[in-house]
């Protein structure tokens, strides 16, 4: 079966599962299975069918699993959002449509990710600019400055900055990887490359420290610093960068805990939420209660106790950062672990694309994107389950939020481009390869 | 490069495995522990889907109803808020209190003794239905009591001395249980403590109202008779200190009945020392001091009365010198009592010396309509001999007929009572009145306490007691 037919098959499966889930929630809410609920499911399937057709024509050799995984996660997200706040599901549906549009634009306009390598410094500037803009003109929500309000929309620029910075770093590090990995001197017996190549590391460290202090957000700083360190390591295979990067970030985090009250508060809640059960620890504890209440099998979609009598969610921000608590409550450990497995599957496909990619830029780009995606998932899931300190970050494709779903659809488009090129270069005919080379 | 990429992927896998392990810990291993945490209000919230049983007054009218709105049930108070500190609130965020908490399993239909139908429902896995509870509270009397406390700080407890049934229980200032969630922050810090049930939790120096207990002890142990003669010089010197009368009054020769009528401290101090510490405290114990009255309410919502030290209730045999005994006999020193305890003391005198167990639950009607539980009055304590009770009854009538309690007198009904005024040392008084009526065959006994007043018990508490007694005696039926 061709890659595209595999993709179609899995999309049909994901589409039917999600339609069933939606109908189940609808029935739980209104006590009936109506045409409306089935039409809604079909619209969702249609969006992904169109994306499938685009991929079929433009990137026929791309990985067949990423799009169905995306569809499944988006469906789970939309279903739970509808479950919690029905009005928001429609908005999220519109964002999905916008994201599909951006996916289309990315695929058609960029066509081949190798072109992006040429614009790497522009990408770096764009990424940095988005972050600085957030610091300068951003609005503080829940103690963290992650939002820009413009033209009636709230945008979370860090979601897009993440993509731009991965593109920049993939290009930059691929270029400098040799220089970065040659030791020129030893410090305490540890071979180190020339000091000037530590420059980017220092810049990145200051950036993450600035994010901690000015954005007051631990999660985003951790995400960006980790992306950088991971890419540095993947480019050079030198563990020394991880050690130094990790140490620097730990120092930055320690500074932030000491001087930023918001981060300090989050940290102390993480260590012991119980004394703050009615105040600052309320959200985290309600999240844990909601998750724990799910048990092994869960209450069933649409049947969990997620809303109070006044229709307020049991956990504040349940539809965004805490949507996983809703999933765990209604789908139980089996469903929640299943969702985690689906994310792992996504990450695995991403890394697999990187491993098979023929050139350094493609490798670093795919691995960087997959790593960013996986780590973001870990940060929010670890946060709502009190494995790590809680920070406001979205669960890719599932959380309510326009920036998140559009940026992550672009991320999928990029991964598909890398995998298409990889597969053509490995298995395609000479003609196909030449055509691809011309495209770049 | 591929080796490094694979390693990073392995790190990712490890992180995801950690997520699943932690999730299993939360959702399976610790699930029950999380569910039982007091901070976890999910169990309460789930109960909102069950029709919560209604709380009815003794006259059958609904005090706390159950209204259904979009699948959830809400408390509704058609008569306004009656006895909110006793009945309590039922909040998802802040939990429950009072009767709502105490009878929660009955009101949610999860109690085990709600009849055959509830067993069948449970076996079939049907959603439980809450049982209705009829209380002994009489709404008309309760309303009178609450009106009497308008703008004041204090409490009123009225009960049936023959059964122990609570007729009214008011505490002021009060709060509105329908808006308790919105008002929570303010209610918690309000210096006047509107959430506190002063009737059962408020510990006050009983002052001269306590003389009922001292008198019962003196008569019971044969230390005095109603006609025993004393001489008051305005001061009783004992153990290097002195006991004086309220307002510096001097009464001269007086018998024991006169001493109660005009609340002569020096005489009661002497009686206290005639009894001595041991017998005085024994009398207190006969009245229920030093133990928590068996009114079924959540832990901490009924306080024991007795002598209190810095670290709470003292043991009944804690050391007292004769001066302390003298003042304790006058309801001062370290003696503290709740309005409930003082009402029970009055009820003991009214009921021939026997104090009945206080209760508020008249009957429980299951969702199927069967009466599954009915009040059965029980004796709690024997406070004194019947002869003592009878003598004290006559003495307390004198208080109302010509003594400090004249403003409690009712036309055509003989009231018996005792005033109390405890000076707080900050210029304000605690004003008390304990009473029962009709004296010949008492059907109502009560205690009134007013805080932060410039007046005496006879001036401010006695008229309130009269109004509540009048309202209660005008009722067609009492528990």
Q: How many domains does chain B have?
A: 2
Q: Dihedrals φ, ψ of A429, to 5°?
A: -80, 170
The answer to whether residue B462 sits within a structural domain is: yes
For chain A positions 60-119, those within 8 Å of chain B (CB to CB) are none
For an interface test with B, give the residue of A173, A226, A234, A235 to mutate (most B CBs within 10 A). A234
Closest by alpha carbon to A351, among B301, B166, B16? B16
Q: Provide mean pLDDT across the span B127-156.
A: 94
Chain A residue closest in CA terms to B15: A378
Distance CA B422, CA A213 (A): 60
- pLDDT value at B122 more than 80: no
Residue of A nearest to B31 (CA): A292
In a domain, B329, yes or no: yes
Domain span at residue B128 reads 47-136
Q: Which residues of A touch B187 (CB under 8 A)?
A: none
Q: Does A233 touch chain B (CB under 8 A)?
A: yes
For residue B115, what pLDDT is reported?
76
Position B331 confidence tier, pLDDT thresholds 50, 70, 90: very high
Query: How far apart, in whole angstroms, are the C-alpha atoms of residue B189 and residue A398?
Result: 42
Q: Nearest chain A residue to B70 by CA: give it.
A: A309
Which residue in B19, B42, B69 is closest to A387 by CB distance? B19
Residue B96 maps to a domain: yes
With beta carbons less than 8 A apart as the criterion, state whether A123 and A161 touch: no
CA distance B262 to A394: 77
Q: How far is CA A277 from CA A223, A287, B40, in A?
A: 28, 12, 9
Q: Give the residue among B260, B234, B169 at the shortest CA–CA distance from B468.
A: B169
Give the whole-angstrom CA distance, residue A302 versus residue B391. Answer: 71
CA distance A149 to A137: 9
Q: Give the span between the Cα atoms of B290 and B309, in whole angstroms.
A: 13
Work out the pLDDT band at B305, boundaries 50, 70, 90. very high
Comparing alpha-carbon positions, the chain B residue that sits nearest to A380 is B19
Name the residue in chain A with its Cα closest to that of B37.
Answer: A289
Closest CB to B23: pick one of A235, A305, A337.
A337
Distance of CA B122 to the CA centre of its chain: 36
Judge if B169 and B65 occupy the same domain. Answer: no
Peptide bond into B173 cis (omega under 30): yes
- Both ends of chain B: CA-CA distance in Å? 88
Contact B471, B144 (CB under 8 A): yes
A309 to B19: CB separation less than 8 angstroms, yes or no = no
Residues of A with Cβ-Cβ distance to B45 under 8 angstroms: 305, 308-309, 314
The predicted pLDDT at position B450 comes to: 97
Residues B152 and B110 in one domain: no
Q: Both B400 and B255 in a single domain?
A: yes
Taking the C-alpha atoms of residue B286 and residue B196, their distance in angstroms, rounded to an integer, is 27
What confidence score (pLDDT) does residue B112 get? 74
Query: A355–B5: do the CB atoms touch at under 8 Å?
Result: yes
Q: How far is B351 from chain A (nearest CA, A)?
A: 48
Put simply, whether A297 touches B (Cβ < 8 Å) is no
* Separation CA A250–CA A246 (nearest Å): 6
Report CB contact under 8 Å: B27, A296.
yes
Residue B42 is nearest to which of A305, A340, A347, comparing CB atoms? A305
Contacts of A371 in chain B (CB under 8 A): 8, 12
- Inter-residue contact A124 to A176 (CB < 8 Å): no
Would you call A289 an interface residue with chain B, using a CB distance cutoff of 8 Å? Answer: yes
DSSP-assigned letter for residue B54: P
| Interface check A331 vs B, CB under 8 A | no
- pLDDT at residue A304 in the model: 82
Q: Which positions in chain A touch B27 (Cβ < 8 Å)?
A: 291-292, 294-296, 328, 332-333, 336
Q: Please give the C-alpha separations between residue A178 and each of A172, A183, A213, A367, B2, in angstroms, as whole numbers.
A: 11, 10, 34, 18, 15
pTM over 0.90: no
Per-residue confidence band for B51, with pLDDT thresholds at 50, 70 and 90:
confident
Domain that holds residue A198: 3-439
Burial zone of A308 (CB within 10 Å; 0-12 exposed, 13-18 middle, 19+ buried): middle
Q: Are residues B150 and B90 in the same domain?
A: no
For residues B157 and B339, the answer to whether their CB atoms sit within 8 Å is yes
| Strand partners of residue A150 | A153
**Mean pLDDT across B303-332:** 93
Strand partners, A409: none
Q: With contacts defined as CB-CB under 8 Å, which chain A residues touch B21?
A: none
Total domains in the fold of chain A: 1
Sign of the four-CA dihedral A344, A345, A346, A347: positive
Q: What percent of chain B shows pLDDT beyond 90?
A: 77
* Partner-chain contact A293 B34, CB within 8 Å: yes
Q: What tokens were used for A219? A: 């999660």
- CATH number for position B83: 3.90.1310.10
A305 touches chain B (CB under 8 A): yes
One domain for residues B325 and B194: yes
By CB neighbour count within 10 A (0-12 exposed, 13-18 middle, 19+ buried), where does B257 fall?
buried
Q: How confident is the model at residue B288 (pLDDT cuts 50, 70, 90)?
A: very high
What does the DSSP 8-state code read for residue B461?
I
Nearest by CB to B19, which of A347, A348, A382? A382
Collect all residues with Cβ–Cβ distance below 8 Å to A266 and sequence separation of at least 6: A218, A389, A390, A391
- CB nearest B19 (choices: A293, A314, A378): A378
Please report residues of B whose CB lies closer than 8 A to that of A318.
Answer: none
**pLDDT tens figures, B83-118:** 999 999 988 778 889 999 999 889 988 887 777 777
pLDDT at A435: 77
Bridge partners of residue B91, in order along the sequence: B95
Chain B touched by A304 (CB under 8 Å):
no
Question: What tens digit of pLDDT does each residue of B185-244 get?
Answer: 899 888 899 999 999 999 999 999 999 999 999 999 999 999 999 999 999 999 999 999
Choosing from B104, B136, B168, the residue where a domain stops is: B136
* B130 lies in the same domain as B173: no
- Cα A213 to Cα A256: distance, rounded to the nearest angstrom: 6
Q: How far apart are the first and last CA of chain A?
A: 28
Are B1 and A234 in contact by the 8 Å Cβ rule? The answer is: yes
Q: Do A337 and B42 touch (CB under 8 A)?
A: no
Q: Answer for the pair A83, A92: CB distance below 8 angstroms, yes or no.
A: no
Establish if A387 touches chain B: CB-CB under 8 angstroms: yes
Kind and range of the H or E run holding B95:
strand B95-96
Interface contact flag, B30 A292, Cβ < 8 Å: yes
Instruction: Enumerate the β-bridge partners of residue B463.
Output: none
**A290 interfaces chain B, CB cutoff of 8 Å:** yes
Q: What is the pLDDT of residue A412?
A: 97
A343–B contact, CB cutoff 8 A: yes
A175: phi then psi, degrees, rounded to nearest 5: -65, -40
Q: Return the pLDDT at A218.
A: 83
End position of a domain, from candidates B136, B152, B185: B136
Q: Backbone phi, then psi, for A400, in 5-degree steps?
A: -70, 135
Q: Nearest chain B Cα to A383, which residue?
A: B19
What is the structure's pLDDT at B221? 96
Beta bridge partners of B437: B444
CB B113 within 8 A of CB B124: no
Same domain assignment for residues B81 and B227: no
CB contact set of A243 (below 8 Å; sequence gap of 6+): none
Residues on B contacting A at a C-beta cutoff of 8 Å = 1-9, 12-13, 15-16, 18-20, 22-24, 26-28, 30-31, 34-35, 37, 39-40, 42, 45-46, 48, 69-72, 74, 92
The mean of the pLDDT values for chain B is: 92
* Mean pLDDT within B17-40: 90
**Domain-embedded: residue B193:** yes
CB spacing of B45 vs A328 below 8 angstroms? no
SS (H, E, C) A44-66: HHHHHHHHHHHHHHHCCCCCCCH
Question: B13: which chain A residues are within 8 Å (Cβ-Cβ)?
Answer: 344
* Residue B111 and residue B159 in one domain: no
> Please, how many CA atoms are within 13 Å of residue B363, restricted to the half-sphere of its CB?
11
DSSP string of A94-114, one letter each residue: HHHHHHHHHHHHHHHHH-STH
Partner-chain contact B26 A348, CB within 8 Å: no
Cα distance between residue B350 and residue B306, in whole Å: 22
Chain B residues close to A348, C-beta within 8 Å: 9
Q: Does A381 touch chain B (CB under 8 A)?
A: yes
Q: What is the pLDDT along chain A (440 residues), one digit of tens a residue?
A: 788 999 999 999 988 888 888 887 877 777 666 676 677 778 888 999 999 999 999 999 999 999 999 999 999 998 899 888 888 888 888 899 999 999 999 998 888 888 898 898 999 899 989 988 888 887 777 777 777 777 667 788 889 999 999 999 999 999 888 877 777 777 777 777 777 777 777 777 788 888 888 888 888 888 988 999 999 899 988 888 888 888 988 988 888 888 888 888 888 999 999 988 888 889 999 999 999 998 888 888 877 888 876 778 888 888 888 999 999 999 999 999 999 999 999 999 999 999 999 999 999 999 999 999 999 999 999 999 999 998 888 899 999 988 999 999 999 999 999 999 999 988 878 887 787 777 65
**CB of A378 within 8 Å of any CB in chain B?**
yes
Point out the residue among A289, A295, A381 whose CB comes nearest to the CB of B19: A381
Using the Cβ of A383 and the Cβ atoms of chain B, whether some distance falls under 8 Å is answered with no
Give dist(CA A340, CA A351) in Å, integer. 16
In a domain, B302, yes or no: yes
Contact A388/A80 with Cβ under 8 angstroms? no
Domain boundary among B136, B155, B181: B136
Question: Residue A139 burial by CB count (10 A; 0-12/13-18/19+): exposed, middle or buried?
Answer: exposed
Q: What is the ipTM of this complex?
A: 0.93
Instruction: Look at residue A31 in the predicted model and tell me its pLDDT.
Output: 66
- Distances in Å between the Cα of B444 and the Cα atoms of A212, A266, A369 are 70, 58, 81
Instruction: Specify the higher pLDDT residue, A193 or B145.
Output: B145
Whether B124 has a pLDDT exceeding 70, the answer reads no
Together in a domain, B122 and B174? no
Give the confidence band of B326 by pLDDT, cuts at 50, 70, 90. Answer: very high
B20 to chain A: closest CA residue? A337
pLDDT, tens digit (0-9, with 9 covering 90-100), for B409-445: 999 999 999 999 998 888 899 999 999 999 999 999 9
CA distances from B349 to B210, B294, B344, B376, B408 (A): 13, 19, 9, 21, 17
CA-based nearest distance B168→chain A, Å: 33
Judge contact between A26 and A80, C-beta under 8 A: no
Q: Are residues B167 and B243 in the same domain?
A: yes
B406 and B301 part of one domain: yes
CA distances from B71 to A410, B230, B338 (A): 42, 71, 42
Q: What pLDDT shows up at residue B434?
A: 97
Its sign, for the CA torsion A429, A433, A436, A438, is negative
Q: Do B128 and B248 fall within a single domain?
A: no
Contacts of A298 in chain B (CB under 8 A): none
Give the β-pairing of B132-135 and B55-56. Answer: parallel
Task: Judge whether A385 is closer than 8 Å to chain B, CB to CB.
Answer: yes
Mutate to test the interface with B, among A29, A181, A292, A303 (most CBs of B within 10 A): A292
C-beta of residue B56 within 8 angstroms of C-beta of residue B132: yes
């Amino acid at each position: 079966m061709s890659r595209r037919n595999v993709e179609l098959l899995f999309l049909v499966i994901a589409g039917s599962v999600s339609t069933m889930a939606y109908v189940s929630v609808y029935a739980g809410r209104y006590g009936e299975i109506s045409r409306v609920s089935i039409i809604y499911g079909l619209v969702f399937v249609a969006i992904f069918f169109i994306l499938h057709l685009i991929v079929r024509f433009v990137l026929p050799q791309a990985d067949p699993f990423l799009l169905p995984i995306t569809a499944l996660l988006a469906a789970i997200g939309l279903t739970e959002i509808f479950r919690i706040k029905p009005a928001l599901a429609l908005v999220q549906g519109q964002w999905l449509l916008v994201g599909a549009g951006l996916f289309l634009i990315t695929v058609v306009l960029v066509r081949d990710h190798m072109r992006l390598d040429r614009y790497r410094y522009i990408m770096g500037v764009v990424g940095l600019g988005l972050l600085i803009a957030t610091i300068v003109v951003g609005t503080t929500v829940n103690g963290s400055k992650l939002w820009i309000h413009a033209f009636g929309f709230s945008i979370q620029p860090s979601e897009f900055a993440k993509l731009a910075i991965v593109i920049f770093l993939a290009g930059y590090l691929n270029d400098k990887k040799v220089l970065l990995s040659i030791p020129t001197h030893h410090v305490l017996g540890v071979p180190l490359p020339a000091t000037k190549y530590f420059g980017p590391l220092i810049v990145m460290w200051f950036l993450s420290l600035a994010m901690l202090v000015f954005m007051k957000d631990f999660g985003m700083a951790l995400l960006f610093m980790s992306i950088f360190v991971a890419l540095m390591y993947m480019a050079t295979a030198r563990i020394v960068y991880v050690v130094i990067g990790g140490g620097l970030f730990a120092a930055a985090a320690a500074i932030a805990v000491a001087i930023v009250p918001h981060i300090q508060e989050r940290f102390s809640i993480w260590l012991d939420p119980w004394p703050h059960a009615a105040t600052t620890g309320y959200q985290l504890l309600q999240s844990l209660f909601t998750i724990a209440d799910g048990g092994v099998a869960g209450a069933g979609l649409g049947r969990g106790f997620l809303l109070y009598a006044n229709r307020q969610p049991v956990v504040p921000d349940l539809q965004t950062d805490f949507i996983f608590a809703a999933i765990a409550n209604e789908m139980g450990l089996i469903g929640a672990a299943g969702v985690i497995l689906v994310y792992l599957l996504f990450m695995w496909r991403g890394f697999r694309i990187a491993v098979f990619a023929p050139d350094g830029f493609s490798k670093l780009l795919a691995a960087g994107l997959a790593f960013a995606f996986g780590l973001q998932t870990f940060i929010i899931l670890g946060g709502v389950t009190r494995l790590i300190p809680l920070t406001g970050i979205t669960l890719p494709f599932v959380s309510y939020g326009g920036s998140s779903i559009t940026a992550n659809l672009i991320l999928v488009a990029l991964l598909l481009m890398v995998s298409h090129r990889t597969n053509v270069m490995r298995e395609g005919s000479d003609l196909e390869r030449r055509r691809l080379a011309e495209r770049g | 490069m591929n080796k490094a990429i694979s390693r990073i992927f392995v790190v990712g896998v490890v992180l995801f495995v950690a997520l699943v392990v932690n999730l299993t810990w939360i959702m399976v291993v610790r699930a029950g522990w999380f569910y039982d945490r007091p901070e976890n209000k999910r169990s309460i919230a789930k109960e909102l889907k069950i029709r919560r049983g209604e709380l009815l007054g003794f006259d059958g009218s609904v005090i706390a109803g159950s209204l259904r709105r979009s699948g959830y049930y809400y408390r509704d108070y058609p008569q306004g808020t009656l006895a909110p500190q006793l009945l309590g609130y039922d909040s998802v965020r802040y939990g429950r209190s009072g009767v709502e908490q105490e009878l929660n399993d009955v009101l949610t239909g999860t109690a085990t003794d709600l009849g055959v139908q509830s067993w069948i429902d449970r076996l079939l896995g049907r959603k439980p239905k809450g049982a209705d509870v009829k209380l002994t509270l009489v709404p008309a009397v309760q309303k009178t009591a609450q009106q009497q406390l308008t703008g004041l700080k204090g409490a009123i407890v009225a009960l049936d001395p023959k059964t122990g049934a609570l007729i009214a229980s008011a505490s002021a200032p009060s709060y509105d249980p329908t808006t308790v969630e919105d008002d929570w922050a303010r209610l918690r810090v309000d210096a006047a403590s509107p959430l506190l049930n002063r009737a059962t939790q408020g510990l006050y120096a009983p002052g001269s109202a306590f003389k009922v207990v001292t008198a019962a002890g003196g008569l019971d142990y044969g230390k005095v008779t109603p006609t025993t003669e004393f001489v008051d010089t305005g001061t009783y010197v004992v153990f290097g200190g002195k006991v004086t009368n309220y307002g510096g009054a001097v009464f001269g020769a007086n018998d024991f009945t006169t001493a109660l009528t005009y609340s002569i401290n020096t005489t009661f101090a002497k009686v206290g020392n005639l009894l001595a510490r041991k017998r005085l405290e024994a009398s207190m114990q006969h009245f229920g001091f030093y133990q928590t009255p068996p009114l079924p309410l959540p832990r901490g919502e009924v306080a024991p009365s007795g002598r209190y030290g810095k670290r709470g209730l003292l043991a009944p045999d804690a050391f007292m010198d004769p001066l302390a005994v003298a003042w304790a006999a006058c309801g001062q020193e370290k003696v503290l009592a709740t309005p409930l305890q003082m009402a029970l003391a009055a009820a003991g005198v009214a009921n021939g010396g026997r104090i009945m167990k206080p209760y508020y639950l008249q009957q429980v009607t299951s969702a199927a309509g069967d009466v599954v539980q009915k009040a059965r009055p029980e004796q709690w304590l024997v406070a004194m001999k019947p002869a003592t009770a009878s003598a004290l009854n006559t003495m307390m009538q004198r208080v109302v007929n010509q003594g400090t309690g004249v403003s409690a007198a009712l036309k055509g009904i003989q009231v018996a009572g005792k005033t109390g005024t405890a000076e707080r040392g900050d210029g304000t008084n605690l004003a008390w009145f304990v009473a029962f009526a009709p004296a010949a065959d008492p059907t109502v006994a009560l205690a009134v306490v007013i805080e932060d007043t410039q007046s005496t018990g006879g001036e401010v508490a006695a008229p309130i007691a009269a109004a509540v007694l009048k309202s209660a005696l005008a009722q067609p039926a009492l528990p």
